Amino acid sequence: MNGKHNVLNIRFALLSAGLFAVTKSVIAAEAPEVDVTGSENPAVTALTEPDSEIEIGLGYISEDNFHYGQYRGLTDEGVYGLVNIDVAKRDDSTGTWLTLDGRDLGLDSRSLEFEHERQGNWGYFLDYAQLPRANPFTHNTGLEGIGSADLTISGVELRDTELELERKRLTLGGRKWFGEAFSVELTARDEAKEGARMFGRGTGGAMEFLADPIDQHIRQIEARVNYSGQKLALSGGYYGTDFDNEDTALNITGGAPELANGTGAFTPIALPPDNQSQQLYLEGNYRFTPTLTSNFKAAYSEATQDDAFILPAAPGNTNLDGKIETTLLQVGLTARPLPKLTLLANYRYDDRDDQTPVLDYFLVTTGSTTTGENEPRSIKTETGKLEASYYLPAGFRITAGFDDERKTRNTSPVRVVSYRRETDEQTYRVALRRSISETITGELTYAHSDRGGSDFETNTVVGGATGSNLIAPIHLADRTRDKTRLLVDWTPTEPLSFQFVANFADDDYDAARTTTDIGVRTGEYEFYSLDASYTFSESWEATLWLSTGSNQLEQGVCVGASSAGVCFNSTSSPTWAAQLGSDEESVGFSLHGKFGEKLSLGADVQYSSMLDEFEQVAITPNVVAPVIPDIETRSTTATLFGRYDLNERSSIRVDLAYDLYRTDDWTWSTFTYRDGTHVFNDPHDDVYFLGVSYAYRWQ
Partner 1 sequence: MNTHNRLLAAVAWLALLAIAPALASAAEDAPKDGVLRGDAACTRCHDEESDFPVFAIGKTRHGVTADGRTPTCTDCHGPSDTHMNIPEGAKGRPSPTRLFGAASMTPIVERNGACLTCHNDGARIHWQTGPHAAADLACTSCHQVHTGHDKVRDKATQTEVCVTCHKEVRPQIARTSHHPILEGLMSCSDCHNPHGTAGEKMLVRDNVNDTCYSCHMEKRGPFVRTHQPVQENCAICHNPHGTTLPNMLKHRAPFLCQECHEPTSHRGNMGNTAVTGFGTNQNTVARGCLNCHTNIHGTNNPRDISNERTFRR
Residues numbered 140-179 forming contacts with partner 1, rule: CB under 8 A: none
268: preceding bond cis by omega (within 30 degrees): yes
Residue choice 361, 490, 504, 589 for contact with partner 1 (CB under 8 A): 361
256 to 139, 199, 251, 405, 671: CA distances (angstroms): 19, 16, 15, 49, 17
Residue 100 in contact with partner 1, rule: CB under 8 A: no
Q: Write down the least CB distance from residue 399 to partner 1, Å.
A: 7
Q: Write down the least CB distance from residue 539 to partner 1, Å.
A: 15
**Three-state secondary structure of 683-694:** CEEEEEEEEEEE
Strand, helix or coil for residue 651: strand
Residue choice 362, 402, 595, 696 for contact with partner 1 (CB under 8 A): 362
Looking at the Cβ atoms of 5 and 348, the one nearer to partner 1 is 348
Q: Write down the least CB distance from residue 377 to partner 1, Å.
A: 4
Residue 283 in contact with partner 1, rule: CB under 8 A: yes
Residue choice 221, 225, 610, 638 for contact with partner 1 (CB under 8 A): 610
Distance CA 58, CA 80 (A): 6
Q: Write down the least CB distance from residue 19 to partner 1, Å.
A: 19
Q: Write down the least CB distance from residue 510 to partner 1, Å.
A: 14
Residue 539 in contact with partner 1, rule: CB under 8 A: no
Q: Which positions from 294 through 333 interact with partner 1, judged by CB under 8 A? A: 294-297, 299, 301, 303, 305, 307, 309-314, 320, 322-324, 326, 328, 330, 332-333
Residue choice 15, 56, 77, 103 for contact with partner 1 (CB under 8 A): 103
Query: How are beta strands 150-153 and 249-254 bridged, if at all?
Result: parallel
Residue 473 in contact with partner 1, rule: CB under 8 A: yes
Residue choice 65, 138, 161, 555 for contact with partner 1 (CB under 8 A): 555
Contacts for 618-621: CB closer than 8 Å, 24+ residues apart: 618/574, 618/575, 618/576, 619/556, 619/569, 619/574, 619/575, 619/576, 619/577, 620/569, 620/570, 620/571, 620/574, 620/575, 620/576
Return the amino acid letter for 112: L
Burial of 195 (0-12, 13-18, 19+ CB in 10 A): buried
The answer to whether 563 touches 467, Cβ cutoff 8 Å, is yes
Residue choice 53, 115, 350, 506 for contact with partner 1 (CB under 8 A): 350
Residue 251 in contact with partner 1, rule: CB under 8 A: no
Strand, helix or coil for residue 38: helix
Q: Would you give the DSSP letter of residue 319? A: B
Q: Write down the least CB distance from residue 647 to partner 1, Å.
A: 20
The most distant pair of C-alpha atoms in the chain lies apart, rounded to whole Å, by 91
Of the candidates 138, 140, 255, the one whose C-alpha atom is nearest the C-alpha of residue 203 is 255
Residue choice 62, 140, 171, 228 for contact with partner 1 (CB under 8 A): 228
- Whole-number CA gyration radius for the chain: 30
Q: Which positions from 615 through 674 interact with partner 1, judged by CB under 8 A? A: 616, 625-626, 628-629, 631, 633, 635, 637, 663, 666-668, 670-671, 673-674
Q: Write down the least CB distance from residue 578 to partner 1, Å.
A: 5
Looking at the Cβ atoms of 23 and 301, the one nearer to partner 1 is 301
Residue 357 in contact with partner 1, rule: CB under 8 A: no
Residue 198 in contact with partner 1, rule: CB under 8 A: yes
Residue 133 in contact with partner 1, rule: CB under 8 A: yes
Looking at the Cβ atoms of 539 and 547, the one nearer to partner 1 is 547
How many CA atoms within 13 Å lie on the side-chain side of 689? 27
Q: Where are the beta strands (DSSP E) in 229-268?
A: 232-245, 249-254
Looking at the Cβ atoms of 18 and 367, the one nearer to partner 1 is 367
Residue choice 12, 80, 114, 266 for contact with partner 1 (CB under 8 A): 266
The answer to whether 680 touches 138, Cβ cutoff 8 Å, is yes
Q: Within 10 Å of residue 208's Cβ, how many Cβ atoms?
A: 26
Residue 278 in contact with partner 1, rule: CB under 8 A: no
Per rule CB under 8 A, count of chain residues that contact partner 1: 198
The answer to whether 100 touches 87, Cβ cutoff 8 Å, is yes
Q: Write down the least CB distance from residue 393 to partner 1, Å.
A: 14
CA 204, 205, 211, 216 dihedral sign is: negative
Q: Write down the least CB distance from residue 2 to partner 1, Å.
A: 21
Distance CA 549, CA 346 (A): 33
Residue choice 11, 159, 377, 649 for contact with partner 1 (CB under 8 A): 377
Residue 90 in contact with partner 1, rule: CB under 8 A: yes
Strand, helix or coil for residue 200: strand
Q: Write down the least CB distance from residue 397 to partner 1, Å.
A: 7
Return the amino acid letter for 227: Y
Residue choice 152, 514, 586, 650 for contact with partner 1 (CB under 8 A): 586
Strand partners, 666: none
Residue 65 in contact with partner 1, rule: CB under 8 A: no
